[in-house]
């Protein structure tokens, strides 16, 4: 059964049910926080809300390279035998260098499953590029919304499905 607060420390355990790290990127890449920076759901939500959007070039390759660096024990990530490693990229899909992005994502896929959420007026080329970045099966790893305002609708729809599923919302991860 999933905890109500998935990022809070579990009583009697040195671990949290989930951990999160965050990288924002455009021309520059910023690590907003590491896996071991926060240990409550509220603190992670607040950190995400405080992240600034920087619109410039889209160096997706640098973001993927930095994400791979985060999956090291010194950055707070748990042993891959004990935890599932996943990355969510939010993008319009089109990077400044498709070739560099594909090389970087190939390395990242060695340590994590990759999900994509396309937001905005993405082009067919951008959609094709992000489709190549996400893990398989593609239809379970790539999602899109036209307007950022629809993001809240997406979160609400997921919350409704969670409530509808009850105890079957998630299953324990056993390596």
- Please report, for the domain that includes residue 153, its CATH number: 3.40.50.410
Q: What is the pLDDT of residues 47-99, one digit of tens each?
A: 998 998 877 888 999 999 999 999 988 888 888 777 889 999 988 778 999 99
Report which of residues 43 and 73 the model is more confident about.
Answer: 43
Kindly report the pTM of this predicted structure: 0.83
Assign 3-state DSSP to the chain and report helix, strand, coil percentages, each to 5. 40, 15, 45
Q: What is the number of structural domains in the chain?
A: 1
Q: What is the span of the domain harbouring residue 131?
A: 22-168
What does the alpha-carbon distance between residue 118 and residue 131 come to, in Å, rounded to a whole number?
10
Q: Is residue 2 part of a domain?
A: no
Burial of residue 145 (CB within 10 Å: 0-12, 13-18, 19+) is: middle
**What is the structure's pLDDT at 1?**
54
Q: Is residue 86 part of a domain?
A: yes
- Taking alpha carbons only, the member of 38, 65, 61 closest to residue 49 is 38
* Residue whose tokens read 């060695």: 110
Q: What is the pLDDT of residues 108-144, one digit of tens each?
A: 999 999 999 988 877 888 889 999 999 999 988 998 8
For CA atoms 112, 118, 123, 124, the dihedral sign is positive
**What is the structure's pLDDT at 22?**
95
The number of CA neighbours under 13 Å toward the Cβ of 62 is 15
Q: Is residue 13 part of a domain?
A: no
**What is the structure's pLDDT at 136?**
93
Q: Is residue 160 part of a domain?
A: yes
Q: Is residue 79 part of a domain?
A: yes
171 pLDDT higher than 60: no
Tell me which of 21-30, 58-67, 68-77, 163-172 is least confident: 163-172
């Amino acid at each position: 059964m999933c905890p109500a607060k998935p990022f809070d420390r579990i009583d009697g355990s040195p671990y949290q049910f989930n951990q999160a790290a965050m990288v924002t990127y455009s021309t520059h890449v910023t690590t907003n926080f590491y896996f071991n920076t926060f240990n409550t759901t509220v603190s992670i939500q607040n950190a995400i809300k405080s992240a600034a959007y920087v619109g410039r070039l889209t160096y997706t390759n640098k973001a993927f390279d930095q994400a791979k660096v985060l999956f090291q024990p010194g950055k707070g990530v748990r042993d891959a035998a004990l935890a599932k490693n996943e990355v969510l990229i939010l993008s319009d899909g089109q990077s400044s260098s498709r070739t560099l992005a594909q090389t970087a994502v190939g390395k990242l896929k060695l340590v994590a499953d990759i999900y994509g959420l396309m937001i905005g007026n993405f082009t067919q080329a951008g959609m094709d590029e992000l489709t190549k970045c996400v893990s398989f099966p593609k239809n379970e790893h790539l999602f899109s919304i036209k307007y950022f305002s629809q993001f809240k609708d997406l979160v609400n729809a997921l919350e409704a499905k969670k409530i509808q599923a009850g105890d079957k919302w998630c299953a324990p991860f056993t390596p």
